[in-house]
Structures are given as C-alpha cells and as structure tokens.
C-alpha cells in the first residue's frame, strides 16, 4: 500500500464509511472507492465486507489500522515541519555588511523580517569587504551585504544595486544653499576624503577629476558613515555613497546630490555552494523593499 492508499483506508476506518471519508478528504465517493479497491489489491487482504449496505472492517483491517495510525502520527509531524519551514516563526540568520549599509537599509530589512519571523535569532556584523568574503567562504555567516564588494569565485550574487554619490555638510555651511554640488564647488574647501588604497577612495578620485587639485584633502577616513560624523562635527564637507545617508538619520546635516557619473555597486552575496533558506530569501525581499523605499524618499 502506498501513502495515498493508506490515507484513504485510514479515513474510511476513522469516518466509518465511504461517503463520510470522501467528505473528510474533500474528494468524491467514487474516488474513495477506487483507491480503497487499489489498497485491498496492494495489500493482498480483504479489508472490508459489505453487510446490509455498510462496510465492516475485517480483523486484518483492524490490525492494519493500528499500525497505520501510528505511522500517520509521523506523517502529520512531517507535514507540520514542512509548514513551519515554509512559514517559519523560529529561525536563525547571520549577516555581515558594510558600514554604510547598516544604519538604514540592513536595519530596516531586519526590522521587517521580525514581523514575518517573530522568534528570529539574528546576528549582524559590520566588517570590511574582505572579511565579508572570508566569513561567507567559511560558511560562518549566511548572507553578506557589501558596498563595492570584492569578487570571489566561491561567492554568488543574490541581488545587485547601484548607488550614486551625495555631498553632506552642516546646515550653516555655504554649500547648503545649493541644490546640486559639483566637483568645482569644492575648490578651496576641506573635503573629508577616503584613502586611494581602498575602492571608495578610487571612486572619489574619479568623481573629483581635475577639481581635486584645488580641494583641501588633508583628512581621510575609511567609511562614509564615519565621514558623516566628522562632517556633522564641522571638520569639513564629505562626499559619500547615498546609502550611508539613507533615511536622514544624522541630525544637523544637509544632503545634496553630487554631480558625478560614478556609481557604486551594492550586492547581496552568498556562498554559491550553500543553498539559501526560506528566511534568507525573506531577508532579501525585505532588503529589496527597503532599497525601493530609499529611492522613493530620495526622489
């Protein structure tokens, strides 16, 4: 007897007849009768005798029913487990991300994920791109969300985005009166920069072009988020990736588009040899929604 035949046999035993079993299984009575005949043939047993229009189980059927009932408890457990895995209320998620992505995008995606998985066990680490790759290759984390990621043959891109640049300064800074800041507008100003030994520093060098020579670039930091803190303190103006200032989280800072064709890649990464869980797919959906929301707010 296969599992479907056992299910129908059990339903007839439990409900006491073909019509009642059909209602229980949401199928037609002829369909139940057909499967029941197949179950009798497969088992090699006479399972029922018809007495005055009623099906009466044989002693062999009664004995078989006891074992099938025990088996069915395991079947129901498998069904419950599959439902829980498809719509988990308990799950674990380990993330690593670039500093610019943590304050708004990753935090909002995680907050929305908790609405879907209320008992989620989540850990987030903010690290450099090389560490993102290392933890994914070692499988000590599930997903990496990287700004200007470093390629690795063992990693696959789940989702990719492009972000531009923005200029941030204190509200009392003269540039705050402009709608768009051009590289030439930064001439003679202290510009919080990034070392050219890192990818973001190279992006800024290309964005500034020939205007870089007229800027005071005597202060460097390695993260756009850190650059915003120092701009807030009045050290200078900063040109940062747009994701670092998403959501307007830093009070007292003015944000203006920076005129440049330069774009920075943002990618959600995974180990290509490790399939994603339902919870990981759900995080990607929430991150994607947060990204679209950021675009609407920026507009």
Q: What is the DSSP string of 104-144?
A: IIIHHHHHHHHHH-TEEEEEEEE--HHHHHHHHHTTSSSEE
pLDDT top residue among 228 and 87:
228
Position 114 pLDDT exceeds 80: yes
Token match 């009070």: residue? 251
Q: How confident is the prediction for the chain on average, in pLDDT? A: 89
**Do residues 252 and 78 lie in contact, with contact meaning Cβ atoms separated by under 8 Å?**
no
Structure tokens at 3: 């599992």
Q: Report the pLDDT value the prediction gives residue 82, as an integer from 0 to 100.
A: 77
State yes or no: pLDDT of 298 exceeds 90. Answer: no
Burial 145-183 (b: 16+ CB within 10 A, else e): bbbbbeebeebbebeebebbbbbbbbeebebbeeeebeb
pLDDT at 187: 95
pLDDT band at 72 (very low <50, low <70, confident <90, very high): confident
Check residue 89 and give its pLDDT: 66
At CA 58, angle to CA 57 and CA 63, rounded to 5? 95
Which structure tokens are listed for 258?
A: 């920076």
Kindly tell me if the per-residue pLDDT of 296 is higher than 60.
no
Lowest mean pLDDT among 24-33, 68-77, 81-90, 225-234: 81-90
pLDDT band with cut points at 50, 70 and 90 for residue 250:
confident
Residue range 8-27: average pLDDT? 89
CB 224 within 8 A of CB 166: no
For residue 111, the model assigns a pLDDT of 93
Q: Is residue 233 predicted with pLDDT exceeding 50?
A: yes
Q: For residue 88, what pLDDT band results from cuts at 50, 70 and 90? A: low
Maximal CA-CA distance, the chain: 104
Lowest-confidence segment of 9-18, 72-81, 88-97, 116-125 by average pLDDT: 72-81
- Give mean pLDDT, residues 265-292: 95
State phi, psi for 125 to the nearest 5 degrees: -120, 135
Average pLDDT over residues 187-196: 92
Q: What is the mean pLDDT of residues 246-263?
A: 86
Is residue 38 pLDDT above 70, yes or no? yes
Q: How confident is the model at residue 249, as a pLDDT? A: 63
Of 105, 92, 102, 159, the residue nearest 126 (C-alpha): 102
Mean pLDDT of the region 171-184: 93
Mean pLDDT of the 143-159 span: 94
> What pLDDT is attached to residue 294?
82
């Amino acid at each position: 007897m296969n599992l479907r035949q056992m299910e129908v046999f059990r339903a007839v035993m439990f409900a006491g007849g073909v019509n009642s079993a059909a209602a229980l299984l949401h199928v037609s009575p002829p369909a139940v009768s057909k499967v029941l005949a197949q179950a009798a043939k497969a088992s090699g047993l006479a399972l029922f005798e018809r007495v005055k229009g009623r099906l009466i189980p044989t002693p062999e059927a009664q004995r078989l029913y006891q074992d099938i009932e025990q088996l069915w408890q395991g079947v129901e457990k498998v069904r419950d487990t599959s439902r829980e895995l498809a719509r988990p209320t308990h799950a674990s998620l380990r993330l690593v991300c670039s500093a610019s992505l943590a304050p708004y995008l990753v935090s909002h995606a995680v907050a929305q994920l908790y609405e879907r998985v209320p008992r989620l066990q989540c850990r987030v680490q903010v690290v450099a791109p090389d560490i993102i790759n290392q933890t994914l290759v070692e499988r000590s984390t599930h997903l990496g969300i990287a700004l200007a990621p470093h390629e690795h043959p063992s990693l696959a891109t789940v989702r990719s985005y492009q972000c531009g640049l923005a200029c941030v300064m204190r509200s009392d800074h003269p540039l705050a009166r402009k709608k768009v800041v051009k590289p030439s507008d930064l001439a003679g100003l202290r510009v919080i920069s990034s070392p050219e030994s890192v990818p973001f520093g190279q992006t800024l060098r290309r964005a500034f072009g020939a205007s870089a020579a007229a800027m005071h670039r005597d202060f460097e930091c390695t993260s756009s988020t850190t650059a915003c803190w120092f701009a807030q303190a009045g050290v200078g103006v900063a040109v940062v990736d747009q994701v670092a200032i998403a959501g307007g989280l830093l009070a007292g800072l003015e944000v203006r588009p920076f005129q440049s064709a330069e774009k920075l890649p943002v990618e959600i990464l995974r180990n290509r040899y490790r399939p994603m869980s339902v919870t990981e797919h759900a995080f990607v959906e929430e991150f994607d929604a947060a990204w679209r929301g950021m675009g609407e707010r920026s507009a």
